[in-house]
Copies of this chain bind each other. A is one copy, B any other.
Amino acid sequence: MKKVSESTVARLSVYLRLLSERESEGVEMMSSGELAKLAGATAAQVRKDLSAFGTFGKRGLGYPVAELSGVLRSILGLERHWRVALVGAGRIGMALLGYQDFRRQGFPIVSAFDADRTKVGQRRHGVTIRADAEMERALVEEAIEIVIVAVPVEVAQEVVDRVVRSGVRAILNFAPTKIEVPAGVALKNVNMALELEALSYALSAGRRGRRWAAGARA
């Protein structure tokens, strides 16, 4: 199994999305140039990325849309559904429970846990929130494969450690802090608040810069 970089995997996801859109429009062939343009890559990069997984398409005709999207779906593990659990049913967690696209994309949230007793027993979008203390056993018994962590920063690492000890090998973290996982466990982070604050910083720094520059000229 050739090692594939994270940025290559991200581009494969983008290619698949573009191919799927074309497929639904009934298009049969798509050129590396078109894929490149929409993915913000070069045609050479597209050809290099895809050549790692086999020989597709014919020079001048492009890639066969249905075949290539099937191959990418298989490479990315998207031919099946993954069993996903949510830990932390706060504001973000509740929004994620309600986000119907996870199921459509093959990542149905089938279990949810929270440490807040007032939330335990509540049912949201077909999932009943259970007590945090039941988490470890449930992760094992329900063969959960991916855990979404949406707990407060202060307990995030501890929750991730418990999740990892329960045998889960893939974590999507929404807590705005740096999380450590052992080798063999995949971790991805999503943080809207941090991204917005980075934009706020950039806008503020830009204004400070302009004000200072104006002052220097005055």
Spell out A's residues near B (CB within 8 Å): 1, 4, 6, 9-10, 12-14, 16-18, 21, 38-41, 75-78, 82, 91-92, 95, 98-102, 105-107, 145-146, 152-154, 157, 169-172, 176-180, 184, 186, 188-206, 208-209, 212
Contact B176 A198 (CB under 8 A): no
With A4-B205, A77-B203 already in contact, the answer to whether A198 and B154 are too (CB < 8 A) is no
Chain A contact residues: over half helix, strand or loop, or mixed? helix
| Count of this chain's copies in the oligomeric assembly | 2
Nearest B residue to A197 via CB reads B13
Contact A198 B10 (CB under 8 A): yes
Bound form: Cα–Cα A193–B16 in Å: 12
Residue among B95, B170, B195 making CB contact with A95, cutoff 8 Å: B95
Nearest B residue to A145 via CB reads B203
Contact B154 A200 (CB under 8 A): no
